[in-house]
Amino acid sequence: MSSTKKEKKQAPSPRNEGKKRVAVIPGDGIGQEVIPQAVKVIQATGANVELTEFDWGADRYLRDGTTVPADGFAMLARDFDAILVGAFGDPRVKTNIHAKEILLGMRFKMDLYANVRPVRLLDAALCPLKGVEPKDVDFVVLRENTEGVYTDAGGVFKGGTPDEIATQEDINTRKGVERIIRYAFQYCEQHTKLDGSPCKTVLMCDKSNAMTHAGGLWQRVFKEVSGEYPHITAQHMYVDALCMQMVRDPRQFDVIVTNNMFGDIITDLAAGLQGGLGMAASGNIHPGRTSMFEPVHGSAPPIAGKNVANPFGAILTAAMMLRHLEFEKEAGKIEAAVLAAVREKKTTQDIGGKLGTKEAAEWVALRVGQG
């Protein structure tokens, strides 16, 4: 059975056969609403997990100036099997320093290089496109998660003057590009579509016609690695063309692999195909290491504290985490319950229902408990 602890009161229990330990960091804004609901749903599955909550986020930062406690990332990697995160960002912290240090810190310092973002439409009613069925929107975006412009390399010269110069470097290493592309081919080999058919294509997206240096590296590595997987079709699109194709014909995609920034942008578009940001799940993975799972949405300050945030992105993220921890049956139960909630309109308003955050999640938890 699952159990919960608060960080300071108790350290995680000793490891025992089968039990997995999960660090839970709700963070800010709607993260504080949706993550406790996702936790309830995990508990309803009866999975053998121990959940330990951490208060990292804006409130703590404003209270004592701590973003990540000393040794924080090493502790997560050492003591936990997975991390469930909400969102970071609070209008009271103008610099957003805590979000940067916690979220980007986790991705970079724990080297969680594969940001896995499944794009699945649960019900035709949720998709803004005409005539599109759930079987037509079933692909995954693999976003490089440790490099690109998010490393914040660069600077400002002559700041605040008419001669100001700002640079933002796009960092692409051979190692970083190769491992995410290889991950994409392996992912394609190991996964099937929801209808049971095999994944057949890996599409690499870049802007190598304009960004020739970084794009050239991605092109070369993609060509090399795809040669090792002759049974998988390798495709390429420029990011602008991909955006148009995702709207015109989402059926054509299986696995899309791209850099950090393009991945960030196209997965908001992809979330739109699924019913909005409130429906999208993600995992930040380094195979064999403690990985982190978070809904795609941010802290959404305008709707925080109102019990209106859609908890399904967080709940589907919890399912993704359980599957990663090899609780396949429990993950399947959660996904089936969310599907039932969508079909029966037991949802929040953003996707056409009348329930609040808690009520929608409680419906799912009850269904999971019955399943």
- List interacting residues with ligand ATP (CB under 6 A): 30, 89, 277-278, 297-300, 302-303, 309-310, 313, 350
Cβ neighbours of residue 230 closer than 8 Å, sequence gap 6 or more? none
- C-beta of 118 vs 313, nearer to ligand ATP: 313
CA distance 52 to 281: 21
Catalytic residue from among 40, 207, 333, 346: 207
- C-beta of 162 vs 302, nearer to ligand ATP: 302
Q: Are 90 and 301 in contact (CB under 8 A)?
A: yes
Whole-number CA gyration radius for the chain = 20
- C-beta of 204 vs 334, nearer to ligand ATP: 334
- C-beta of 12 vs 298, nearer to ligand ATP: 298
CA distance 105 to 22: 18
Catalytic residue from among 240, 306, 329, 354: 240
Can 111 be counted among the known catalytic residues? no
Can 90 be counted among the known catalytic residues? no
Between the CA of residue 181 and those of 109, 114, 144, 192, 229, what are the distances in Å?
20, 10, 9, 18, 11
Cβ-closest residue to ligand ATP?
A: 298
CA distance 256 to 263: 9
User: Shortest Cβ distance from residue 151 to ligand ATP (Å)?
Assistant: 17
Catalytic residue from among 268, 306, 345, 354: 268
Give the strands of the sheet with 20-27, arranged side by side: 3-6, 49-53, 20-27, 82-87, 291-293, 283-285, 114-120, 138-144, 255-258, 201-206, 233-238
- C-beta of 2 vs 37, nearer to ligand ATP: 37
User: Shortest Cβ distance from residue 66 to ligand ATP (Å)?
Assistant: 20
CA dihedral 234, 237, 242, 244 (to 10 degrees): -120
C-alpha of 369 from chain center: 25
Can 150 be counted among the known catalytic residues? yes
Q: Are 340 and 367 in contact (CB under 8 A)?
A: yes
The alpha-helical segments, DSSP class H, found in the chain are 31-45, 58-64, 72-79, 97-99, 105-109, 174-190, 212-226, 239-248, 260-274, 312-324, 328-343, 357-370
User: Shortest Cβ distance from residue 348 to ligand ATP (Å)?
Assistant: 6
Catalytic residue from among 61, 113, 150, 187: 150
Can 240 be counted among the known catalytic residues? yes
- C-beta of 181 vs 279, nearer to ligand ATP: 279
Can 207 be counted among the known catalytic residues? yes
Catalytic residues: 150, 207, 240, 264, 268
